[in-house]
Amino acid sequence: MPCDHLIKTNELSLDQSAIIEPLSIGAHAVRRSDLQKGDFALVIGAGPIGLGVMQAAKQKGAKVIAMDMNEERLAFSKVWAKVDYAINVENGPVEQLMNITNGDKQALFLMPLEAVNPWLMLSNIQPMEES
């Protein structure tokens, strides 16, 4: 790793230092994208990296849609990352996305894997059966 990519964390706790990586990954993904103010950014996964993407996309002025199957993570993303929309993947995600984007399938940036077609991926999601 090049030395200019390293950050001294002497003044930070170990917990604070550990959160730098997922936040920087999220910021890097948004920086590399062509995301513009007012665009919809669909972030699938509200874990540490997804939260970093959400926060960076919000700072860029995007309308952020968080998607996850965990309601606690979705609730946290509303508070911490201030997402505009939260979708539970088990509750009709395609219909919700169509409502949010007024049916404009081209309006979405799938973050951070923007090359993946979210409509194709989401159309194949089947709700998990309870055991």
How many whole angstroms separate alpha carbon 105 and alpha carbon 117? 9
Q: Residue 110, CB half-sphere, CA atoms under 13 Å: how many?
A: 15
* Residue pLDDT, tens place only, 17-46: 888 888 888 888 888 888 889 999 999 889
Assign 59 a pLDDT band (cuts: 50, 70, 90).
very high
Mean pLDDT, residues 40-63: 92
CA diameter of the chain: 50
User: Which tokens go with 2?
Assistant: 């090049």
Q: What is the CATH number of domain 34-118?
A: 3.40.50.720
SS3 label, residue 69? coil
Rounded to two decimals, the pTM is: 0.77
